[in-house]
Structure formats: C-alpha cells, structure tokens
Amino acid sequence: MNGKEEAAGCERIVEMDVNLGQVSIRNPKGSPTELPKSFRFDAVYESSCRQSELYDETVRPLVDSVLQGFNGTVFAYGQTGTGKTYTMQGVWAEPEKRGIIPNSFEHIFTHISRSQDQQYLVRASYLEIYQEEIRDLLNKDENKKLELKEKPETGVYIKDLSSFVTKNVKEIEHVMNVGNQTRSVASTNMNEYSSRSHAIFVVTVECSELGLDGENHIRVGKLNLVDLAGSERQSKTGVQGERLKEATKINLSLSALGNVISALVDGKSTHIPYRDSKLTRLLEDSLGGNAKTIMVATIGPASCNYEESLITLRYANRTKNIKNKPRINEDPKDALLREFQEEIARLKAQLERRGMLSKKRRKSQRKIILEGEEIIDEGEETEDNIEKDMENYLKEQKETLEKEKVAIQDDHNLVAEEKQKLLEEKEKMMEDLKKEQEATEQLAAKFKVGQ
C-alpha cells in the first residue's frame, strides 16, 4: 500500500499465491463468513518480485517470437497508481528496476548482435491516443492529428506516422525519451503524474535470411508496447473541467476495449465492435487476430480500491480466454529492408558498370605505334566512343547523386547523425566522380595530341 492508503486507514484485502497463480480478494464491507473471490491466471507477481522475473518468465518468449517474424503485443491495464507505467518502463537508470520496454530493447539488440548470416532492420514509432485523437509523439508538430487507414494486405495503419531506423539500444532509448517528453500527463487525486492518454510504442523488426533456394527471404515482426491510461472511476480522481473531459474519453475507450473482449470471449457474437474506438481499432490484430498478446493487469491491495481491483481482475479473467491466431509474417510487400537491398543491388550494378568502363579505357591504351606502324587491337572500341560513353555515364551519375542528396536532406525520418553521414558519403562520391572526369579529359587530350 502507498502512503495515502495507509494514512486513510485502509487495510490489505488482496492475497496472492504465486505457486498456484491465484489472486484472492476479500470484500471489506462483507460479512465475516463471506468467502474471498478467487481468480486464476497464467502467472501472478507480488509487489516484492523483481522486474527481471516478470520479463524472463512472461515477456521474453513473446519477444523471441517477434524476432522470428510474429506480431506481439504487451499491454498494461489497471487503475492509476497500481504500477502500470512502472511495470512497462520502470527506472531506466537502475538495471534491477528496468521495466518491460527497456528489457525488450536490450533483448532485441543482443539477439541481433549474436546472429549470423542474417540482416536486420529495426524501426521505432511512438504515438498516443489522447481524447480519441492520435498524436505522433515523435513529430515536432504536437497538434497534428493523424488518421487511421486500412490496407487489405497489412490491415490497419496510421497515415504519416514517423518511423525511425535505430541501430542499437542507445538510439531506440533516445527515440522513446523524446516521445515521453511530449506525453499527456497530469496530477490527479490518484497519482501526481497520471497518464492521461494511451501510449503505444511500436518496434518493427525486419530480418532477411538466405534460404535453401538461394533467394533472400524477409520476415517482419511487430512489437506493440502499450501503456493504457488509468481505469478508475472519475469520482475517485477528483478531476474537473478539461481533466474530467479527458477521463470521460479514457473510460469510453476502455469500455470499448471491454466490449471487444466480451464479444471475443462470448463466441456467439457475429460482430466484434473494433470500430467503437481508435484504441480497439489499432489493437484489432492483438485481440483475436494475428498476434501473440500478453495482458499485464495491475491492482492495488488496499480496501479503499476494492471495486477497481475487482473490476480489473474480472477484466483480466475474461481477456485470458481470447484465442488469437498468430502466424509468421513472411515476405511482406512493404518491408523497408527489401527496399534497402534493392538500393544496394542498384549501387553494386553502378559500380560494376564503372569498372567495365575503366576496363574499356585501359584496353584503349593498348593502341600503340610499333615500328612506325599504327596497331589497333581488333574488337576494341575507338577512343571517341569510349569518351562519349564516359561523358554520358558521368553525367548520369552526377544527376543521380544530386537527386539522392536532395532526397536525404528532405527525409525527416532519418536521424540527424545518419543524415549527415549519408550526405558526407554522397559528397565523397561527387569528388571521386570529378576526379574520374578530369582523368578522362586528360586521357582524351593525350590521344588527340597523339593523332
């Protein structure tokens, strides 16, 4: 129990049996003979358990599945002040207190560093649903509202959502820290820093591997890390005005989530109300669809929170009866890694072409004067043709490089460091091209003098 609960004279009414995976809750207003209500789950964790226990036992297998190409979702549900954000994020600076999100980052990049004969690309996006509006937490324009769209082959997606390529734990943590600074939080009676929005951090892991057929096969796993807003009654938060409006929207979306869960578990419903809120629309794959999903339900042990704790336990009890149908996402059409591989292949072809032209130029130098007679190797191109080929090639390369430089400068999805690195590479290529042009002109001038 926290200080406020102890000061209010609340008593502990929740008991947990870790071995049985059972939670029992006693009605503080019930008769002494009334038996506690009990609920069984896949795993239960007391307040004394370590963050690593929860991650290793419950979340690690799911992240392993994401690395294999499955979709995975972890979402925390419960009233404000019971530890949702602590469970999801924890204390980043202290390894023992780091939550599910930083532990999953470490897990993903450790796996990638140890892998062999595989190429990986990791992207991160961060959004919040605030008063039923979707905000990109990584966009400088905080007031921009994003739209939900749907594709037949990939399902629901958010139009214009920022996506940042990250190469290590430090970079992906930086992306999250930037987003956290713009999250909607406020003080309520329940918590000084209460989340007033649902936050979803999306990690997309693309993997390319050479198959037995000699072709590259791509699989894409998506990890949704969801920190829901508090599920308590509005009267308990003590909020008014704008905060009351926020609480109303929060409760509406959580009610929609509850309706979706009930419809899925019922088995008789022909209609699942995913479209009733943006939260349920976004989590459509995670609830009864193509994803492996974990729900972490957090409750308070104090008697003053009996109703909220009982509602949360019932909510979680229904959720565990949902049956999803996860499958590996193989060779998706919109994989960014495929675009990168095609770009690399194009650049390799350019280099080979450059090498062929250089070879032609070297062969042309075999034109010599032998004992006063001019000898030209049969089958070789004349210098005029080679010079013309080189001019066309150099002109084409210069135009391509200029376009690529402009594209890099306009690409707001690239982090500044990566953008600068790419621009420097293009500048170097421009310099090399200039040197090659000068060498070609000198060679052409030399042969003109010889003639």
pLDDT digits (tens, 9 = 90+) for 277-297: 999 999 898 999 999 999 999
Query: Do 56 and 113 lie in a common domain?
Result: yes
Burial letters for 55-72: b for 16+ Cβ neighbours within 10 Å, e otherwise? beebbbebbebbbebbbb
Domain boundary among 319, 345, 366: 319
Say if CB 401 and CB 419 are below 8 A apart: no
Say if CB 68 and CB 328 are below 8 A apart: yes
Instruction: Kindly state the average pLDDT of the residues 325-334.
Output: 83
**CATH number of the domain encompassing residue 177:** 3.40.850.10
Query: Do 295 and 351 lie in a common domain?
Result: no
Query: Do 314 and 348 lie in a common domain?
Result: no
Q: Name the residue with higher pLDDT: 389 or 285.
A: 285
Encoding tokens for residue 299?
A: 């409750």
31 within a domain of the structure (yes/no): no
Detail the residues annotated as belonging to a binding site.
78-85
Residue 214 has pLDDT above 50, yes or no: yes
Residue 188 has pLDDT above 50, yes or no: no
304 within a domain of the structure (yes/no): yes
Query: Do 315 and 342 lie in a common domain?
Result: no
pLDDT band at 326 (very low <50, low <70, confident <90, very high): very high
The overall average pLDDT reported for the chain is 81
Say if CB 53 and CB 161 are below 8 A apart: no
Max Cα–Cα distance, the chain, nearest Å: 122
Instruction: Kindly state the average pLDDT of the residues 165-175.
Output: 95
Residue 367 has pLDDT above 50, yes or no: no
Residue 359 has pLDDT above 80, yes or no: no
DSSP state of 305: G
Query: Do 117 and 253 lie in a common domain?
Result: yes
Domain boundary among 319, 345, 369: 319
Tell me the one-letter amino acid at 131. Answer: Q
Q: What's the CA gap between 317 and 292, in Å, rounded?
A: 17
pTM above 0.85, yes or no: no
Residue 387 has pLDDT above 50, yes or no: yes
Residue 352 has pLDDT above 80, yes or no: no
358 within a domain of the structure (yes/no): yes
Residue range of the domain that includes 207: 47-319
Residue 351: which of 436, 409, 259, 267 has the closest Cα?
A: 436
Residue 205: which of 83, 303, 336, 94 has the closest Cα?
A: 336
Detail the residues annotated as belonging to a binding site for ATP.
78-85
Q: Name the residue with higher pLDDT: 246 or 283.
A: 283
Encoding tokens for residue 72?
A: 């995975």
Instruction: Kindly state the average pLDDT of the residues 249-256.
Output: 79
Query: Do 366 and 426 lie in a common domain?
Result: yes
27 within a domain of the structure (yes/no): no
Encoding tokens for residue 365?
A: 């130098």
Our count of domains for the chain comes to 2
